[in-house]
Amino acid sequence: MSQIVVDKEKGVEAFEEYMKLAFPYLEATRRKEKNDFIDLLKREAARGPMRVTEVHTKPTVSSRIKRRVVQRNDKIDPNKNDALYGKIGNVVPLK
């Protein structure tokens, strides 16, 4: 109910005055945080422009399953007429 009666500008001023009295260290803490943040930004800006570099140039691990499939596919002769290919027919493309 008291918020309805109080003018907005005077209410804000009264609250700020209350905060200064209730928490006198708050202003100094905010000023220190702001100065620390400004110092951090200055250090980052002094490092120069931001660069993006590639971390890995090639995969470090190769899959054994993939290697076996590739070796198996290299050994398969699609023109060979053995019993398995005769049963499958030409429905499944080999390469």
Q: Is 78 inside a domain boundary?
A: no
Give the number of domains in the chain.
Answer: 1
DSSP state of 47: T
The closest of 14, 74, 35 to 5, measured between CA atoms, is 14
pLDDT of 40: 96
14-27 tens-digit pLDDT:
888 998 899 989 88
Q: Phi and psi (nearest 5°) for 13?
A: -60, -45
Q: List the domain range (segments joined by +) for residue 41.
A: 2-46
Q: Is 38 inside a domain boundary?
A: yes
Q: Is 22 inside a domain boundary?
A: yes
69-80 tens-digit pLDDT:
777 666 666 566
Q: Kindly state the average pLDDT of the residues 26-54.
A: 92
| Cα torsion 44, 47, 52, 57: sign | negative
Q: Is 77 inside a domain boundary?
A: no
pLDDT of 85: 61
- Residue count (the chain): 95
